[in-house]
């Protein structure tokens, strides 16, 4: 996977599970083969594991599975790099939640890097004949979701799939497109976060392949967010906000919306170097009934 900004990626990955806590249980069972107790509810609970005595402990996310009573606590950690201090804090996390909720507990580490997954999987030696092993989900273990209909059923899993497999030279664009389709049906703020998480996970070749697929009419924009935000993202990714990037994004929107553009209008778009004018056309393209509405002075 491509390297991604640490602060954004960490929060982005956490948001997938915070918004859909049952995803952690599903991945533990389906991807890692963990036998889980019967449960009827998954909820996010406080990650502050500090006890009355002194040491402050804060897990990334704590998910409680319940079936009339607490049946399992999942301590979820997003790990973007090697941190040997976690070899001491992770066992403490489990001890704290197990004591608090009076049920079994497990540690679930999610990482977008296979090298970190290999490091996190190593048994932690607690003492003589006593070891602790976390469950670790690296990119290779993330299920492939490339069907938009399936992606829409669980958008967070589709986004996670795109971050893990979106750079695949053969199927990456299809996987990323399925995730974007699923995310476009969510509230705009959540869709924006998920779209950013997908984009920063893709390398340049994968972004170009995705944009090519979208420009061929394989993706129908589902909301004002998708029409405007995706187009602006493409402009930034292709040409870092330059005029030619915005012009190409505008033409893509017109194709996706089925609006007919004349040769003269196309030439006008491609010849324009005024970023303010192009931005105005992009904004109009989101809701315009015809191309005449877009280019009216």
Identify the CATH number of the domain in which residue 68 sits.
3.40.1350
149 and 192 share one domain = yes
**pLDDT of the residue at 232:** 57
**pLDDT of the residue at 167:** 92
214 and 237 share one domain = no
Residue 240 lies in a domain: yes
* Segment 76-87, tens digit of pLDDT: 999 988 899 999
DSSP state of 58: B
Residues 6+ apart with CB under 8 A from 222: 181, 184, 185
- Is 48 in a helix, a strand, or coil? strand
Beta strands (DSSP E) in the chain are 41-45, 61-66, 70-78, 104-110, 124-127, 130-132, 135-137
Residue 1 lies in a domain: no
**pLDDT of the residue at 215:** 67
108 and 125 share one domain = yes
Tell me how far CA of residue 186 lies from CA of 20, 154, 191, in angstroms. Answer: 12, 11, 6
* Segment 192-212, tens digit of pLDDT: 888 888 888 888 888 888 877
Residue 196 lies in a domain: yes
Please tell me the number of Cα atoms within 13 Å of 135 on its side-chain side. 21
Name the residue range of residue 149's domain: 142-219
Residue 148 lies in a domain: yes
The domain tally of the chain equals: 3
Residue 120 lies in a domain: yes
- Tokens encoding 265: 């209008």
44 and 111 share one domain = yes
83 and 200 share one domain = no
Whose CA is closest to 99, among 75, 123, 115? 75
The torsion angles phi and psi of 74, rounded to 5 degrees, stand at -105, 115
pLDDT at residue 5 above 60? Answer: no
Q: Where among 219, 251, 279 does a domain terminate?
A: 219
């Amino acid at each position: 996977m491509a390297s991604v900004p640490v602060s954004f990626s960490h929060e982005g990955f956490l948001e997938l599970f915070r918004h859909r806590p049952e995803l952690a249980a599903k991945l533990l069972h389906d991807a890692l083969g963990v036998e889980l107790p019967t449960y009827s509810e998954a909820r996010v609970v406080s990650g502050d594991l500090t006890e009355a005595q002194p040491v402050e402990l804060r897990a990334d996310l704590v998910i409680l599975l319940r079936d009339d009573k607490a049946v399992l606590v999942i301590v979820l950690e997003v790990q973007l790099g090697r941190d040997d201090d976690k070899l001491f804090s992770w066992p403490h996390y489990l001890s704290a939640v197990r004591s608090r909720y009076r049920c079994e507990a497990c540690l679930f580490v999610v990482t977008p890097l296979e090298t970190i997954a290999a490091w996190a999987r190593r048994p932690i030696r607690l003492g003589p004949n006593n070891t602790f092993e976390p469950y670790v989900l690296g990119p290779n273990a993330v299920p492939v979701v490339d069907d938009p209909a399936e992606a829409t059923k669980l958008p967070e899993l589709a986004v996670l799939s795109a971050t893990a497999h979106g750079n695949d030279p053969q199927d990456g664009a299809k996987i990323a497109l399925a995730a974007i389709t699923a995310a476009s049906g969510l509230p705009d703020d959540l869709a924006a976060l998920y779209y950013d998480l997908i984009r920063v996970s893709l390398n340049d070749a994968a972004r170009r392949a995705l944009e090519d697929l979208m420009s061929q009419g394989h993706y129908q924009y589902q909301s004002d967010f998708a029409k405007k935000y995706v187009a602006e993202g493409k402009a930034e990714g292709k040409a870092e906000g330059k005029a030619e990037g915005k012009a190409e994004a505008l033409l893509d929107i017109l194709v996706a919306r089925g609006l007919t553009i004349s040769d003269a209008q196309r030439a006008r778009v491609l010849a324009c170097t005024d970023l303010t004018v192009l931005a105005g056309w992009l904004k109009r393209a989101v809701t315009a009934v015809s191309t005449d509405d877009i280019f009216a002075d």
